[in-house]
């Protein structure tokens, strides 16, 4: 059996590269980091033919071989470095047939690296709608490499692509002998000198080493010094050489397209996507539609999830009551029902909302509307020292701050990237969703405004908008303090509108739900068991008097006495108050009392630093410890709704609910986010700044809200 091929997928952003990767590898994928850098590496295995398999690597998208961002440098290094661990045996260039001229620039550059290349043309259907007809055989002759038309979204052309890969592996397709342009004469002395000191596949590869020698990690200090000296002697002007190269490439591409491509009249009627953009990108209506889309998204989280959430709540409350009735009354039963089961039920009930949120976000991405949101908000971003590229990480932060911060690698401007990292955690992520949902259900009435707008949905949208506008405000302030002067430009290709791939939406919902259950669930269950212990036990000098006091009172009460049940509740309440958890909660209560929080909320604030969603599991455990079998049949929301303060007033009023939601909207309570910021910035200074400013902001906003509303 032949050794697996190393295949690299490259291409412009939005060319269909990821779709091809998914189609080739299916579920045989894994995500790691490239050696030495914090850039995602997506790899997967694929069966090409009987006896021939391949390791496929999905390289970050780039428009040319002149990199600007960290992601683009990774692609550049893999293609230029002949000794790279990821060095490919074959490169598949995914090119958009509907934007062929721009894509051919990148294709021609890779062809001149003298590597085995296959061009996979996507978007052929869109090209035809634009009136573009491509002579594939003629284009193949001109470029000297095999070309195949594919549609990975519909699994079309994949068998032909695999056949060409198999033939290429057998050596049927030779690397083009002639360069696409005369690279050697662009800078002959410099190229010849570079070849003396490095191993290069081609004249063009040597030219790139000359242009970027200072940034190439595979060159040692001796090589860099020698190349630098040679370039100085040759008076090498990289800007002039780059400009001349691009001009020559486009001149040759123009000739090729003239003989192989038939383009429609430029004055043809607009495509459907362009007509839709006239409305969705309108200076006024575009923003109105954006707000409507956001409201529908957040209202749907309540509306669509209400039924499965009710089923899950009922299932767990019934299960707890049933187990409490049949299991023996001992510590093992107590820790299982009021520790583990209470913690699991606390987060499991929110799985439908997490799934729906990610599903709807995937629909927005798949249809092409998410890119329009970046375009719409670019003007606002520029006012605060950012640009439209910062919007995608911020929007991603609605799902999770960790991948959102990693997505800032595509921002070339160092100042804009740093500010985006600093403010991204202010976006309300999915971990906050269970807290928002619970508190909105407790303190916001389920009413309609104007007969059709749900008040709870409006409250949810307000929280998400609040996070976005606070991020904008903080970014404007940080613009004054981050002293990095560097110009930036926002150039973005808007993908065409497409119907969402419902299979992809479904897979995303299942995967994200699984991650929430496994990753967050493990933390929540462990903390729930620890909390059960801390809430069930305490110092003997404090617990013994409580036991003695209530044993006497309960013994004196008759079973039919109306005070019997109330005594048991008072006993459990006082026991919890004197436990280790109670002592910890009471210790921090003076600091959080001005916010309307009690000691139980204080404990949840502390445990939430592991992960925000732990708040729900913590409250479920604290409100379950000491419950009787009858109490176990009540849901967490019912228990919290009936909670009272020492003076007998309801614990969860509108003031307390708003203050708590604001605290979680702004506080930096996520160790994973702090860890990824540390990794991306290579410093603990930035995450510490985030921790301080976000906690301070959360406290001040919660304090003001509670004092005004109480």
Mean pLDDT, residues 567-585 taken together: 74
Number of domains in the chain: 3
pLDDT of 37 > 50? The answer is no
Q: How far apart are CA 588 and CA 590, in angstroms?
A: 6
**Within this chain, do residues 108 and 189 fall inside the same structural domain, yes or no?**
no
Least confident window among 130-139, 565-574, 595-604: 565-574
Write the Ramachandran bin of 155: left for phi over 0, alpha for psi from -120 to 50, otherwise beta. Answer: left
Same domain, 136 and 256: no
Q: Residue 448 has which token pair?
A: 């309609």
b/e code 589-618 from CB counts within 10 Å (16+ = b): beebeebbbbbbbbbbbebbebbbbbbbbb
Give pLDDT, residue 72.
Answer: 78
Same domain (yes/no): 128, 204: no
Q: Are residues 580 and 700 in the same domain?
A: yes
Greatest alpha-carbon pair distance for the chain in Å reads 104
Contacts of 27 (CB under 8 A, 6+ apart): none
Instruction: Say if CB 639 and CB 648 are below 8 A apart.
Output: no
Q: What's the domain range around 144? A: 5-169
pLDDT per position as a tens digit, 294-325: 777 767 766 777 778 778 877 877 887 788 77
Query: Which one of 139, 169, 199 terminates a domain?
Result: 169
Evaluate if pTM is beyond 0.85. no
H helices of 578-684, in order, are: 580-592, 599-607, 614-622, 636-641, 654-666, 671-681
Residues 115 and 258 in one domain: no
Three-state DSSP at 149 gives: strand
Per-residue pLDDT, 610: 67
CATH code, domain carrying 79: 3.40.50.300
123 and 199 in a common domain:
no
CA 710/CA 708 separation, integer angstroms? 6
Q: For the chain, what is the radius of gyration of the CA atoms?
A: 31
Same domain membership, residue 128 and residue 71: yes
Query: Are 532 and 677 in a shared domain?
Result: yes
List the structure tokens of 454.
Answer: 């749900």
pLDDT one-digit tens code per residue, 598-651? 888 888 888 777 667 777 777 777 776 544 444 545 666 777 878 888 777 888
Beta bridge partners of 47: 53
Q: Which tokens belong to 294?
A: 């956001």
What pLDDT score was predicted for residue 92?
93
Domain boundary among 112, 138, 169: 169
Question: Can you tell me the distance from the alpha carbon of 530 to that of 522, in angstroms, rounded to the nearest whole number?
Answer: 13
**Cα–Cα distance for residue pair 12/61, rounded to 1 Å:** 5
C-beta of residue 666 within 8 angstroms of C-beta of residue 426: yes
Q: What is the pLDDT of residue 568?
A: 63
Q: What is the mean pLDDT of the chain?
A: 79
Residues 49-59 pLDDT 10s: 888 888 888 88
Q: What is the mean pLDDT of residues 79-102?
A: 84
Taking only the tens place, the pLDDT of each residue in 171-204 is 888 888 888 999 888 888 888 888 888 888 888 9
Last residue of a domain, one of 239, 262, 285: 262
**Do 39 and 149 sit in the same domain of this protein?**
yes
Q: Is the pLDDT of residue 78 over 80?
A: yes
């Amino acid at each position: 059996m032949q050794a697996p091929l190393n295949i690299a997928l490259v291409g412009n952003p939005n060319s269909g590269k990821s779709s091809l990767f998914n189609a080739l590898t299916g579920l045989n994928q894994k995500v790691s980091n490239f050696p030495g850098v914090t850039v995602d590496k997506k790899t997967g295995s694929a069966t090409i033919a009987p006896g021939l398999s391949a390791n496929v690597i999905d390289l970050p998208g780039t428009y040319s071989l002149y990199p600007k961002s960290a992601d683009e440098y990774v692609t550049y290094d893999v293609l230029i470095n002949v000794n790279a661990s990821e060095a490919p045996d074959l490169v598949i260039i995914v090119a958009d047939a509907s934007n062929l001229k721009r894509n051919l620039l990148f294709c021609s550059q890779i062809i001149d690296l003298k590597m085995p290349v296959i061009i996979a043309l996507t978007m052929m259907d869109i090209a035809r709608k634009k009136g573009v007809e491509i002579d594939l055989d003629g284009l193949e002759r001109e470029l000297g490499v095999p070309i195949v038309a594919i549609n990975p979204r519909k699994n079309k052309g994949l068998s032909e692509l695999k056949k060409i890969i198999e033939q290429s592996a057998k050596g049927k397709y030779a690397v083009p002998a002639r360069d696409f342009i005369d690279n050697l004469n662009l800078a002959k002395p410099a190229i010849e000198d570079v070849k003396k000191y490095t191993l290069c596949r081609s004249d063009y590869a040597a030219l790139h080493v000359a242009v970027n020698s200072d940034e190439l990690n595979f060159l040692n200090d001796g090589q860099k010094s020698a190349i630098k000296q040679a370039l100085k002697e040759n008076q090498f002007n990289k800007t002039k050489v780059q400009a001349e190269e691009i001009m020559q490439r486009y001149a040759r591409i123009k000739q090729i397209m003239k003989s192989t491509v038939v383009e429609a009249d430029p004055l043809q009627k607009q495509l459907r996507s362009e007509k839709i953009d006239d409305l969705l990108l309108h200076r006024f209506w575009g923003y109105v539609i954006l707000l409507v889309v956001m409201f529908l998204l957040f209202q749907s989280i309540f509306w669509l999830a209400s039924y499965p959430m009710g089923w899950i709540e009922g299932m767990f409350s019934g299960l707890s009551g049933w187990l409490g009735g049949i299991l023996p009354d001992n510590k093992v039963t107590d820790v299982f029902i009021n520790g583990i089961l209470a913690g699991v039920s606390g987060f499991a009930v929110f799985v439908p909302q997490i799934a729906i949120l990610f599903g709807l976000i995937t629909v927005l991405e798949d249809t092409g509307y998410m890119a329009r949101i970046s375009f719409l908000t670019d003007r606002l971003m520029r006012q605060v020292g950012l640009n439209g590229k910062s919007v995608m990480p911020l929007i991603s932060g609605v799902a999770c701050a960790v991948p959102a911060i990693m997505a800032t690698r595509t921002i070339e401007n160092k100042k804009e990237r740093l500010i985006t990292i600093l403010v991204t955690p202010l976006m309300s992520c999915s971990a906050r969703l269970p807290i928002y949902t619970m508190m909105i259900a407790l303190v916001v009435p389920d009413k309609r405004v104007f007969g059709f707008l749900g008040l709870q949905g409006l409250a949810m949208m307000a929280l998400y908008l609040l996070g976005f506008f606070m991020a904008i405000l903080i970014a404007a302030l940080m613009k004054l303090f981050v002293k990095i002067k560097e110009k930036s430009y926002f150039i973005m290709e808007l993908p065409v509108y497409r119907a969402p791939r419902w299979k992809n939406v479904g897979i995303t919902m299942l995967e994200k739900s699984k991650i929430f259950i496994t990753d967050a669930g493990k933390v929540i269950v462990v903390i729930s068991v620890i909390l059960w212990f801390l809430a069930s036990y305490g110092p003997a000098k404090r617990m013994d008097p409580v036991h003695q006091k209530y044993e006497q009172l309960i013994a004196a009460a008759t079973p039919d006495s109306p005070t019997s049940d109330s005594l048991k509740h008072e006993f459990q309440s006082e026991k919890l108050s004197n436990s280790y958890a109670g002592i910890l909660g009471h210790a921090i209560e003076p600091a959080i009392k001005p916010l309307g929080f009690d000691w139980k909320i204080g404990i949840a604030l502390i445990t939430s630093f592991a992960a925000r969603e732990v708040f729900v599991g913590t409250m479920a455990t604290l409100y379950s410890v000491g419950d009787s079998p009858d109490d176990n049949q009540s849901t967490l929301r019912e228990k919290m709704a009936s909670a009272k303060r020492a003076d007998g007033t309801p614990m969860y009023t509108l003031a307390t609910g708003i203050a708590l939601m604001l605290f979680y909207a702004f506080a930096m309570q996520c160790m994973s986010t702090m860890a990824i910021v540390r990794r991306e910035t290579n410093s603990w200074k930035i995450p510490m700044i985030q921790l301080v400013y976000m906690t301070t902001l959360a406290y001040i906003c919660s304090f003001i809200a509670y004092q005004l509303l109480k």
